[in-house]
Structure 1
């Protein structure tokens, strides 16, 4: 039987394409270089960086806590990435999402796509970010000066 794990508000983790889990996001320049070197056909690399906003409707944000079922999050993330990769004919994709406590101003998620042309890179990137936020089972709890609550998105 396969062991299932639940990641809670412990030290930050990362859910990354190619089933890598780490304590932090990989350095962005190394991810860009990885994609640029993935094929001689790469003509565009588009990047999304998700950042914890310092304010919300409830005031100043202290931190967000991201939780996920690690195995399921990896599986769904890979399915979403593969689906979008095929749809747009992408050369390669990197998608990383942190878990655990993330402070205001810190990076939460990196999504990078490599393609032959910029048009499909932009379209694919937008769809990937939207689908990751909507479909990958990662939940967030918002800690502000006034409240602590689960939030959507």
Structure 2
């Protein structure tokens, strides 16, 4: 339970702090610093744990590069641009749609099927996002 609360608090701080940073810098600059800090953190933790392994094939490195550019750098830049455009409250609501979009992409790309419980969970995510979006006047921008 502690990890869940920690993740929620961390993500909230990330969004609120990010909205303040974007008053000073562009989304690309914010992404550069976030990705740089994350890279250093992962390298330090991996080195400390003795689990760094860079022995991938050329094909493996290609997928690492694609994932780094598209799924990480592009996604973070788009999030920061959206955060600056719509504000932290709306951005956090819209980012709650990410799991549903990921499920849809897995279904289209890989033919992944959902169980009834997973469909129910997806419906709850969509309903909660719609409910919060409709009642956004109760949540002023930070």
Q: Verify same fold: TM over 0.5.
A: no
TM-score by length of 1: 0.24
Higher helix proportion, which one?
2
Quick check: which has more Rg, 1 or 2? 2
Higher strand proportion, which one?
1
